[in-house]
């Protein structure tokens, strides 16, 4: 029958093993030094050195031992720093694998469903608000189970979790900002293309009247490269304070050409009649300087250009 009082050796921590190794090295160094001292005493029994060693036999040991101890202890911060770096890398990997990945892609429905079923941060609220507080506690417990015996403090684990949250929130905000910018650009492009079609139709329908007003044939002068760019009052431009379009007009256009475009726009409104309310109001905002586009220089008459091609 086994002895119930029999004790079993416990598993030592990495820190304890490191200290044991340091003590063993120190003991070995001290033995070597003592042996060297004995040899020196035997060879210099009739010299002044012998008297020094006999009066202070541990002097040399005390001089050498701290050096050995310092070398071993000096390595500890580096080892601790390396261990923390390894733990941090492991923690971030575990969190990425455990949480929902907004960029996850797969051809397999089961994998997509598995990703969608993972817990996720609510980036619309703060870290210390529900449901993020509940998720934080779950993630801390999850990491602690994976770092048993690693000597990590709970505050370190929470820092890992918080860093993951801020990273996801920053990515989500960036994604939303890009989506908003893309939507605004697409709306602006679609709006300008539609207005270009209206201008062409209005000119063809009122060509005689417009040409008479301009005292010249204006055919072929309504092209995309010559149009102004309009910014709408939809929150995408900080310069707009009215419900309409603020036009950025090309600087190479002459006053006569600008007058021609105004005549065409008036005909667009007149042709729409009661439906003209569908159009956003258009007002001059600023002149954008730049070279004459190649498509303009090759086909526009001199009168349409401010300073020539």
Rounded Cα distance, 12 and 240, in Å:
70
Where is average pLDDT lowest: 44-58, 72-86, 114-128, 130-144? Answer: 44-58
In Å, how far are 207, 234, 261, 265, 288 from 304, measured between CA atoms? 17, 32, 11, 17, 16
Q: How far is CA 174 from the centre of its chain?
A: 8
Question: Cβ distance 230 to 265 under 8 Å?
Answer: no
**pLDDT band at residue 192 using 50, 70 and 90 as cut-offs:** confident
- Read off the tokens for 70: 């310092």
* Segment holding 231, helix H or strand E: strand 229-232
pLDDT tens digits, one per residue of 35-88: 766 766 666 555 554 554 455 555 444 444 444 444 444 445 555 566 677 888
Asked if 205 and 271 count as a contact pair (C-beta separation under 8 A), the reply is yes
Which residues does residue 247 pair with via DSSP β-bridges, in sequence order?
Answer: 230, 284
d(CA 64, CA 71): 11
Give me the residue spans of the domains in the chain.
84-173, 187-304
What percentage of the chain exceeds 70 in pLDDT?
A: 69
For the segment 1-10, the average pLDDT, to the nearest whole number, is: 50
Q: What is the pTM of this model?
A: 0.44
DSSP assignments along 73-95, one per residue: HHHHHHHHHHHHHHHHHHHHHHH
């Amino acid at each position: 029958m086994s002895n119930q009082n029999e004790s079993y050796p416990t598993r030592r921590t990495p820190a304890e093993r490191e200290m044991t190794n340091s003590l063993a090295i120190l003991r070995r160094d001290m033995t070597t030094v003592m042996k060297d001292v004995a040899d020196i005493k035997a060879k210099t029994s009739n010299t002044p050195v012998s008297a020094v060693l006999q009066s202070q036999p541990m002097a040399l040991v005390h001089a050498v031992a701290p050096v050995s101890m310092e070398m071993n202890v000096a390595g500890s911060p580096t080892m601790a720093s390396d261990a923390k770096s390894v733990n941090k890398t492991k923690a971030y990997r575990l969190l990425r694998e455990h949480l929902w990945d907004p960029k996850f892609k797969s051809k397999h429905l089961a994998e997509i469903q598995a990703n969608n079923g993972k817990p996720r941060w609510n980036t619309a609220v703060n870290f210390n608000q529900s449901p993020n507080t509940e998720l934080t506690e779950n993630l801390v417990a999850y990491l602690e189970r994976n770092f048993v015996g690693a000597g990590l403090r709970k505050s370190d684990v929470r820092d890992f979790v918080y860093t993951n949250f801020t990273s996801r929130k920053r990515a989500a905000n960036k994604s939303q900002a890009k989506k908003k910018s893309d939507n605004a650009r697409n709306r602006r492009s679609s709006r300008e293309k539609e207005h270009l079609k209206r201008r062409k139709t209005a000119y063809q329908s009122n060509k005689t009247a417009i040409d008479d007003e301009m005292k010249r044939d204006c055919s072929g002068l309504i092209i995309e490269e010559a149009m102004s760019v309009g910014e709408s009052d939809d929150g995408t431009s900080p310069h707009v304070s009215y419900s309409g379009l603020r036009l950025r007009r090309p600087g190479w256009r002459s006053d006569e050409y600008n007058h021609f475009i105004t005549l065409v726009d008036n005909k667009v409104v007149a042709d729409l009649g009661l439906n003209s309310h569908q159009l956003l109001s258009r007002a001059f905002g600023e002149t954008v300087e730049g070279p004459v586009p190649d498509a303009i220089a090759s086909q526009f008459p001199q009168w349409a250009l401010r300073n020539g091609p």
